[in-house]
């Protein structure tokens, strides 16, 4: 049995015009310690998949199994990092991480152990120098580092990341990507990350899951990234294997999906024409 299994998962949302099927039969098995990226056009259900794994949504059909147990609600073994850092503005970086630590380890760690654990996780993201500053006193990239530290401090088995670097400038984004690779190497967390950035997906991932366009989105293709770790973005820039992976993802997103859309549009137009003739 796989460490994490998304099994034949579909979900519908009620709308005034009837049920809207966002996902249709998503099937994916993930190994412990694996880094998997979900990529696809806007509206393809990437965040919906993540929310189902997080336990925030309940699938209409199928579901998620983590280490043999069905996921039915949120839990500390699955920590989420959103694009918005979601830090409480009146608390310092240390205090924001402390909130998560107190919730998860309130009965299992002493006060001294909690302090050491908070500082350890802030050190992982290189934020010990600013641990006593509030969010309005630090940069966007630093806020996101604190958000990652807070998630890691929960000691999750699975780290779920919803475009965590999407709102950052290119240089800050690159630094955080490098930090994430270091952290994942040291902790061997299982990571599922949503991204729109092809280069980010190839650089960070063991596998890239390419989603078809919605509605009724599903897994289109899965690409295994067989690049040795640790990975260096400068060295990979001219690497033919890296560029081949990049090209395959771009081809799926902008050529194969375009053909599918054209076919669907043609079918819709044909049905509309037929209805008009009958009328």
Three-state SS letters, 203-237 = HHCCEEEEECCCCCECEEEEEECCCCCCCCHHHHC
Read off the pLDDT of residues 133-179 as tens digits, 9 standing for 90 and up.
Answer: 999 999 999 999 999 999 999 999 999 999 998 888 999 999 999 99
What residue spans define the domains of the chain?
1-35+44-73+192-251
pLDDT score of 262? 54
Q: Closest Cα partner for 189 from 156, 162, 164, 215? A: 156
For the beta sheet containing 158-162, the strands, ordered from the edge strand earlier in sequence to the opposite edge, are: 78-81, 158-162, 190-195, 35-39, 207-211, 219-224
230 prior amide bond cis, ω within 30: yes
Distances (CA, A) of 176 to 96, 144, 218, 246: 19, 9, 29, 20
Give the pairing type, strands 69-70 and 61-66. antiparallel
Read off the pLDDT of residues 215-244 as tens digits, 9 standing for 90 and up.
Answer: 999 999 999 999 999 999 999 999 999 999
pLDDT score of 256? 72
Question: Quick one: tokens of 130?
Answer: 């600013």
pLDDT score of 279? 55
Query: Which CATH superfamily, name and number, covers 1-35+44-73+192-251?
Result: P-loop containing nucleotide triphosphate hydrolases (3.40.50.300)
The secondary structure of residue 51, as a DSSP letter, is H
Contact in structure between 88 and 147 (CB atoms under 8 Å): no
**Positive or negative torsion for Cα 189, 160, 182, 243:** positive
Global pTM value: 0.89
Report d(CA 141, CA 176) in Å as an integer: 8
Q: How confident is the model at residue 42 (pLDDT cuts 50, 70, 90)?
A: confident
pLDDT score of 267? 47
Q: How confident is the model at residue 266 (pLDDT cuts 50, 70, 90)?
A: very low
Q: Closest Cα partner for 158 from 60, 32, 9, 19? A: 32
Reported in sequence order, the residue ranges of the chain that DSSP labels E, i.e. its strands, are 4-13, 20-30, 35-39, 61-66, 69-70, 78-81, 158-162, 190-195, 207-211, 219-224
Report d(CA 81, CA 162) in Å as an integer: 6
């Amino acid at each position: 049995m796989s460490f994490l299994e998304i099994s034949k998962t579909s979900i519908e949302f009620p709308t005034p015009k009837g049920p809207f099927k966002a996902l249709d039969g998503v099937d994916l098995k993930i190994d412990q310690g694996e880094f998997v990226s979900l990529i696809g056009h806007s509206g393809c259900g990437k965040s919906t998949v993540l929310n189902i794994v997080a336990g925030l949504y309940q699938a209409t059909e199928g579901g998620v199994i983590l280490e043999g147990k069905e996921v039915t609600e949120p839990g500390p073994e699955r920590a989420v990092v959103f694009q918005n850092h979601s830090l409480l503005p009146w608390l310092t970086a240390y205090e924001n991480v402390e909130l998560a630590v107190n919730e998860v380890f309130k009965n299992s760690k002493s006060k001294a152990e909690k302090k050491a654990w908070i500082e350890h996780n802030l050190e992982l993201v290189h934020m010990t120098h600013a641990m006593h500053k509030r969010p309005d006193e630090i940069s966007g990239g630093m806020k996101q580092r604190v958000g990652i530290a807070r998630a890691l401090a929960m000691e999750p088995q699975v780290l779920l990341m919803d475009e965590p670097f999407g709102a950052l400038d290119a240089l800050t984004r690159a630094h955080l990507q490098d930090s994430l690779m270091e952290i994942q190497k040291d902790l061997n967390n299982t990571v599922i990350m949503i991204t729109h950035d092809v280069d980010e997906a190839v650089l960070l991932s063991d596998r890239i899951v390419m989603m078809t366009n919605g509605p009724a989105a599903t897994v289109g293709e899965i690409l295994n990234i067989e690049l040795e770790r640790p990975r260096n973005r400068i060295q990979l820039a001219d690497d033919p294997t890296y560029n081949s992976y990049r090209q395959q993802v771009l081809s799926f997103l902008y050529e194969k999906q375009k053909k599918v859309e054209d076919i669907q549009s043609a079918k819709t137009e044909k049905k509309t024409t037929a209805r008009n003739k009958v009328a």
